[in-house]
Structure 1
Amino acid sequence: MKLALVVPGGVDRGGERRVIPALLHFIARLAQAHEVHVFALRQEAKPARWPLAGATIHNVGEGWTRWRAIRAIAAEHRRAPFDRIHAIFSGPCGQVAVAAGLWLHCPTLVHIAGGELVALRDIRYGGRQNWRGRLCEALVLRCADQVTAASAPIIDILHRLGIDAQRVPLGVDLAAWPPQSPRRRPAGPARLIHVASLNRVKDQHTLLHALAALKGRGIEFTMDVVGVDTLAGQIQRLATTLGLASHVRFLGFRTQRELRPLMCAAHLLVMSSRHEAGPLVLLEAAVAGIPTVGTAVGHLAEWSPAAALTAPPGDWIALADAIEHVLADEDLRLQLAWSAQRRAMREDADHTARAFEALYLSVRDAPALPVRLRR
């Protein structure tokens, strides 16, 4: 098959920075059996093209991006027709994929991978914050031939909106991120890790207050925080204010190769997000034998309590309680780690590619627009 993938970015020509690892693993697997063209809306400012992971990347660039992306897909379609058009993320990517699919009479798939279906207005996050966003998402999801999402909570939202959807996690490449058996924690301070960009939706404010509560209870720990700072040092200043400067290291961005030893040295991953469709880092930690405590979103919500412990989003006291509970019970920590690892390895990158390939085959050639609109 000839496939068009529409993505916001995550496909930098260097293959290490400004990438989405799960996306690269998926592209590489598809490219082994299919001709894959990836249309990145804003990877770089100017239009460009380069090879990556066996696929051809078409960077659309800034300025009338959606319209130019549709035209770029149509131009490549004229060279040789696409069999399927697949948006990873809805929002602008879904709009481009569906519009191109309708124009070219090509089946389309849309994968919900972020905050497309939520409205967190206090932090200006989500695709459904106003009527225009809700209308755009409704049109995209009802015109797509197949809708998927990474985790059960997102599937539940789609079902409540009247959209039939299938769960397809974006899995870990077990060759690039090899499994490691869970290990018993030695004596001494617990080593915690948090991997996420510093931003409002990841909610490091709640994370640091939970850590301050742990410190107040006399629990010994250190934490590595890995991720790009988008808040101009606000979280680092909060850590100092809360007396956590000697407990928390802010390491900034790390490549996958740099992240791996940090993850393997940790005893517990802690996530504090207000919303997640995944996150992939939960799966990476599980494969590395590290259990997770976090807020009840995405995979965390569907894995709890057998393979993760959760607290309500924004509740740092409950998050601190959950962390303390796991650190105080080593048998529980190992039980969570083994259960999480089994789940993550069942749904690895190979599983992701097989699931999407099956969906590509299951959707039929696209009829005219009035027939395709979902009821």
Structure 2
Amino acid sequence: MHGIYLSALAVIRQSWTQDSLFVSCHKSQNNMPQRRRPSLNSPLSDQEVAALTQLANGNALHLQRKAEREARLASTLTLHSAASTTETPLSGMKILMISDVYFPRVNGVSTSIASFRSALERLGHTVMLICPDYPVGQVDEPGVLRIRSRQVPGDPEDRMMRYRDLIALAPQLAAEAFDLIHVHTPFTAHYAGVALGRRLGLPVVATYHTLFEEYVHHYIRWLPRRWLRLAARRLSVRQCQQLDALVAPSRAMQEALTRYGVTTPSTVIPTGLSLESFCHPQGTQDDSDFRAHYDLPTDARLLLYVGRAAFEKNIDFLIDMLPKVLAEHPNTRLIITGEGPAHDWLVRRAQEVGVAESVLFLGYLNRSGPLQAAYRAADVFVFASRTETQGLVLLEAMALGTPVVSTAMMGTLDVLKEGEGCLIAEDNHDDFTTKVNCLLSDEDLRQQLAESAQVYAASWHEDAKSAELMSLYRRLAAERLANTRK
């Protein structure tokens, strides 16, 4: 993470240079030495004829694609001139998404992209994703264009695409006649996305997935926290002001952007849950299989955390409160799934607290089976992140019938409702432990919350959230078409 953040400065400098080339290339040509023809009546060489023909064909194709896009959007305006945002969204749009992360890199951004892509395609739209290639674990997917990338120094999990490689795709992307560009990360993807939007005449929207002011100090510890927060805010404002629209996954994130001074219009659209794919019963283990696989006693009480093993996730809070749970339920196990930069530190923390024998680190689990088995086997899902953008894992747990005990801060405020599959705890060990012990001791309450959890999670279906996103897409495309006709 910190390697990407530092290298973003280099990307900014690079993007400004590349951006200026698009805007001023015709000016710079006047200052370049040129070979003058001896006479206007001299015949063109074969090379000149070929070059002019190629240029004419390229311009004709670009104009043809642009006309097709405008005709499609004009039809949209005619058919939906009186449509509200609650009506069926327009079918047939072509969306270009760009991100610096995607699977096999497991995090909330990758999950969000996959959720919206699949739902938008079910609604009849075409979505192309540009993202980095990964040396290990990569799976080819239709509609995903992998760009050559390099490892970020000091950050083995993330990859960095080269700006110029993305910009070089401009002719190919122009031929696809996209209606809109959606950026998901603030690094190379952002600067290339903005530049491509200007060059292709497309609106650019971005989802502000991460509140960097609350993250960066965990990774750059040698600089004062105040400086880092200020730098993160200023960079966020600069980037957000370059966009046509913003998507905030939660109201708390939208309010943070407003406090920064961002004036770009923003819409709150959380990531939906893929109930059909994630909650499918086939291929999953049952409770006993999971316990047997990890040699867990059948009578053990299981507390589960799912997510990256990162400093900002506040996992040490869960480890620190565990002794008070063990005092009432000595056969309890805290299961931590996921990997990340804080893993070794968390292992040491469990040893320091004296609960190492009761904490099980499983690493990443495959979402198509083992992870679902972990959710189903758990008695309680526990979560204490203070900086979560949304907290999609909370909904995943509830969708599989696992009651939740969690703090409600930042994005989780929008997700959690007391009694709807969860108990909301205060941000202290005593109250959190009380809620956990209450659920472990009361089987009736646990069953009641498990049933309400599944009903509540169903209201977060990804199709509904994707319809909201499509309404934003439709408005931006219509506004751009109206502006081009003035």
TM norm structure 2: 0.64
Indicate the residue corresponding to 2:217 in structure 1. Answer: 121
Indicate the residue corresponding to 2:394 in structure 1. Answer: 282
Higher fraction of helix: 2
Indicate the residue corresponding to 2:17 in structure 1. Answer: none
How many angstroms apart in 1 are the aligned matches of 2:144 and 2:329?
54
Indicate the residue corresponding to 2:467 in structure 1. Answer: 354
1:56 equivalent in alignment to 2:168: no
Give the match's secondary structure for 2:278: coil
Match of 1:25 among 107, 115, 140: 115
How many angstroms apart in 2 are the aligned matches of 1:189 and 1:337?
18
Identity rate of aligned residues, in percent? 22
Indicate the residue corresponding to 1:102 in structure 2. Answer: 198
Structure 1 position 169, deviation (Å):
1.8
Contact persistence 2:311–2:341 (CA under 8 A): no
- AA of the residue aligned to 1:361: R
Contact persistence 1:170–1:352 (CA under 8 A): yes
Indicate the residue corresponding to 1:173 in structure 2. Answer: 274
CA change 1:89–1:80 in 2 (3 A) is: same
Contact persistence 2:205–2:243 (CA under 8 A): yes
Contact persistence 2:389–2:412 (CA under 8 A): no
Contact persistence 1:107–1:364 (CA under 8 A): yes
How many angstroms apart in 1 are the aligned matches of 2:216 and 2:437?
29
Give the match's secondary structure for 1:222: strand
CA change 1:43–1:296 in 2 (3 A) is: farther
Match of 2:324 among 209, 213, 217: 213
How many angstroms apart in 1 are the aligned matches of 2:94 and 2:474?
12
Greater shift after overlay, 116-125 or 71-80? 116-125
How many angstroms apart in 1 are the aligned matches of 2:254 and 2:441?
34
CA change 1:45–1:248 in 2 (3 A) is: closer
The 5 A counterparts of 1:1-375 are 1-12=93-104, 20-32=110-122, 33-40=124-131, 42-44=132-134, 51-52=140-141, 54-62=142-150, 65=161, 67-68=163-164, 70-90=166-186, 92-116=188-212, 118=214, 121=217, 124=220, 129-161=228-260, 162-163=262-263, 164-178=265-279, 188-218=299-329, 220-231=331-342, 233-256=344-367, 257-302=369-414, 303-307=416-420, 308-313=422-427, 315-364=428-477
CA change 1:288–1:8 in 2 (3 A) is: same
How many angstroms apart in 1 are the aligned matches of 2:400 and 2:120?
25
How many angstroms apart in 1 are the aligned matches of 2:188 and 2:448?
41
How many angstroms apart in 2 are the aligned matches of 1:122 and 1:21?
23
- AA of the residue aligned to 1:268: V
- What is the aligned residue count? 357
How many angstroms apart in 2 are the aligned matches of 1:110 and 1:316?
37
Give the match's secondary structure for 1:175: helix
- AA of the residue aligned to 2:103: V
Contact persistence 1:271–1:295 (CA under 8 A): yes
Q: Deviations over 1:19-75 (max 9, x none)?
A: 9344323223333423322111x44379xx9851x4132325239836236404523
Contact persistence 2:194–2:204 (CA under 8 A): yes
Structure 1 position 223, deviation (Å):
2.1
How many angstroms apart in 2 are the aligned matches of 1:156 and 1:201?
20
- AA of the residue aligned to 1:101: G
Contact persistence 2:115–2:271 (CA under 8 A): no
Contact persistence 1:95–1:136 (CA under 8 A): no
How many angstroms apart in 1 are the aligned matches of 2:472 and 2:450?
31
- AA of the residue aligned to 2:364: F
CA change 1:122–1:5 in 2 (3 A) is: closer
Contact persistence 1:118–1:129 (CA under 8 A): no
The answer for unaligned runs of 5 or more in structure 1 is none
Structure 1 position 366, deviation (Å):
6.4
Contact persistence 1:98–1:144 (CA under 8 A): yes
Give the match's secondary structure for 2:311: coil
Q: Deviations over 1:83-105 (max 9, x none)?
A: 11001244554443333223322
- AA of the residue aligned to 1:39: I
Structure 1 position 283, deviation (Å):
1.2
How many angstroms apart in 2 are the aligned matches of 1:226 and 1:323?
19
Give the match's secondary structure for 1:246: helix
- AA of the residue aligned to 1:137: S
How many angstroms apart in 1 are the aligned matches of 2:325 and 2:167?
54
Q: Deviations over 1:181-208 (max 9, x none)?
A: xx9xxx9542211112212011221110
CA change 1:340–1:108 in 2 (3 A) is: farther
How many angstroms apart in 1 are the aligned matches of 2:219 and 2:120?
36
The answer for unaligned runs of 5 or more in structure 2 is 1-92, 152-159, 282-286, 288-297
How many angstroms apart in 1 are the aligned matches of 2:378 and 2:329?
20
Q: Deviations over 1:145-201 (max 9, x none)?
A: 221122232233234345542222212211112279xx9xxx954221111221201
- AA of the residue aligned to 1:354: A
How many angstroms apart in 2 are the aligned matches of 1:120 and 1:309?
30
Contact persistence 1:159–1:165 (CA under 8 A): no
TM norm structure 1: 0.81
